Amino acid sequence: MNMIEQVKENPGEAKEQMVSGVKGAANTIKEAINDVETLYENLNEDVVGKVTEVKDISTDALDSAKEATSELKGISSKVVVAGKQLKETPAQSLKDDNKKGEKESDELVTKSELSNEKSISSNF
C-alpha cells in the first residue's frame, strides 16, 4: 500500500528508484558472472595443468616400467644361461674328463700290449 501511494504522489522518483535498483542488481549480477568466469578460468588452468602433469608422470612411469621389464628379461635370460652352465659344466666336465681318462688309459694299455708283444717276439 505504501509503495502505491509513493508512486501516485511522485511517479518520477519511484521510477528512478526502480531503475536504480534494477541497474544495481544488474551490476551485481555482472560482477558475479565475471567472478564465476575468473574462477572457471583459474580452475580450468589448474585442473588442465594438473591433468597434463599427471599424464606426463604416468607416461614417464610407464616408459620406465617397460624399460625395467626389458632389462629384467635380459637379466633373467643371463641367469637362466648361468644356471644351465652350472648344471651342464660340472657334469659335462666329468664326462669329458672320464672319456679323456678312458681314452688315455686305453692308449696306455694298447701301447703296453704292443710293447709286451715286441718284447715277447724278440725273445723268440
DSSP characters over 7-37: HHH-HHHHHHHHHHHHHHHHHHHHHHHHHHH
The identity of residue 75, as a single letter, is I
Cα atoms in the Cβ-side hemisphere of radius 13 Å centred on 13: 8
Look at residue 124 and tell me whether its pLDDT is greater than 60: no
Total Cβ atoms within 10 A of residue 7: 15
pLDDT recorded at residue 112: 55
pLDDT recorded at residue 90: 55
Q: How confident is the model at residue 1 (pLDDT cuts 50, 70, 90)?
A: low
What letter would DSSP give residue 1? -
Look at residue 9 and tell me whether its pLDDT is greater than 70: yes
Task: Evaluate whether 39 touches 32 at the Cβ level (below 8 Å).
Answer: no
What is the pLDDT averaged over residues 18-29? 93
31-60 pLDDT tens trace: 999 999 999 998 888 888 888 888 889 999
Contacts of residue 28, defined as CB under 8 A and 6 or more positions apart, other chains included, come to: none
Q: How confident is the model at residue 88 (pLDDT cuts 50, 70, 90)?
A: confident
Q: How confident is the model at residue 98 (pLDDT cuts 50, 70, 90)?
A: low
Cell numbers at residue 105, please? 688309459
Query: Measured between alpha carbons, how far is 42 from 48 in angstroms, rounded to an integer?
Result: 10
Mean pLDDT value across the chain: 77
Neighbour-count burial of 14, counting CB atoms closer than 10 A to its CB (0-12 exposed, 13-18 middle, 19+ buried): middle
Say if pTM beats, i.e. exceeds, 0.75.
no
